[in-house]
Amino acid sequence: MKGFRLAIVGATGMVGQEFIKVLEQRNFPVESIALLASDRSAGKKLFFNHQEVEVKETTPDSFKGIEIALFSAGAEISRYFAPIAAQSGAVVVDNSSAWRMDPKVPLVVPEINPEDIRKHKGIIANPNCSTIQMVVALYPLHKINPIKRIIASTYQSVSGTGTAAIDELTNQSKQILNGQTVVPHVYPHQIAFNVLPEIDVFLDNAYTKEEWKMVEETRKIMHDDNIAISATCVRVPVFISHSEAVTVEFTNSITPDEAKRILSQAPGVKLVDDPAISLYPQAYSAAGSDDVYVGRIRTDVSHSNSLVMWIVSDNIRKGAALNTIQIAEEMIKRDWLHPNGG
């Protein structure tokens, strides 16, 4: 297979560095790679495939000759540079929220809607991390027994906010254990030994933006605007991996055993479910893994045709870097690099 000319925008951030790791681990066909970041990070050296690569400042000229650009630099950067990269001939796979709900931009989870990649006009959006793991677990069930309603409560790690949040959790934990006063900087309140039901900004409807992303993105990915969805997103003092308690109402009755049988064969899903020996998905064991873990599948005794389940995944890996690279791999495999598969 021929190699491709890649660029990573936001290469020095958590997701950017995970891009590099996943590209190496999956032997992605790379002819050349440009590592791009802000002017503050320009000049740093990173390694790719055992070779030192200098990080360059992202400019409008950065994308000349680039075929695939992986973005992980935030919505504002993506809104400005993604169209420039696309106009230069690159296909952008963007991790930010900038393009997800644009009707002209595919929002893709390769295990679910890979065919949407073909509709791209130079930009493809990677969904929110909490959305990705939920739909990977639910879509195999939805295909067999259409989902009517989803109630999700998330337990999201601080890595979703970035390195500064990881440092804050570490420092606050030490300060509290040493009897010192904590002054929060990254979050509005102390995160160590605490939980915060506030992720992203609050909207006029009293939901947070993170909660509303789960509603809108799930419908777009699953091509079903009729699914009723409500989410409560909570930040917890965990470093890596998001966990979710999800209640799902189906059109027809479904047993836990039926759901387990379906999910045990679903792509990207790993069933971990044996309560007799306290076996269920956990955040720490999901960290570093490609899979979405599902367990504690049980009947919802409060509502007919409903199941309850526990879903855990590494938000930096599957929720960001891996899913992005899987999109690029699918695009190459199906020869959809050029818009509309041309």
Which residues are known catalytic residues? Answer: 129, 242
Strand intervals (E) in the chain = 4-9, 30-37, 45-48, 51-54, 56-57, 68-71, 91-94, 123-125, 147-156, 228-235, 242-250, 269-271, 292-299, 306-313
Sheet holding 68-71, edge to edge: 56-57, 30-37, 4-9, 68-71, 91-94, 123-125
Give the CA angle between residues 74, 131, 87 to the nearest 5°. 40
Give the CA angle between residues 185, 186, 190 to the nearest 5°. 70
**What is the DSSP pairing of strand 292-299 with strand 306-313?**
antiparallel
Helix (H, G, I), strand (E, B) or coil at 270: strand
Lookup result for tokens 């003092």: 237
Q: Per-residue b/e over 93-127, b at no fewer than 16 CB within 10 Å? A: bbbbbbbbeeeebbbbbbbbbbebbbebebbbbbb
Q: How far apart are CA 22 and CA 31, in angstroms?
A: 16
Please give the radius of gyration of the chain, using alpha carbons only, rounded to the nearest integer: 20
19 membership: H or E segment, kind and range: helix 14-25
DSSP code of residue 197: S
Q: C-alpha distances in angstroms, 166 versus 18, 83, 161, 171?
A: 16, 32, 8, 9
Lookup result for tokens 């050296």: 45
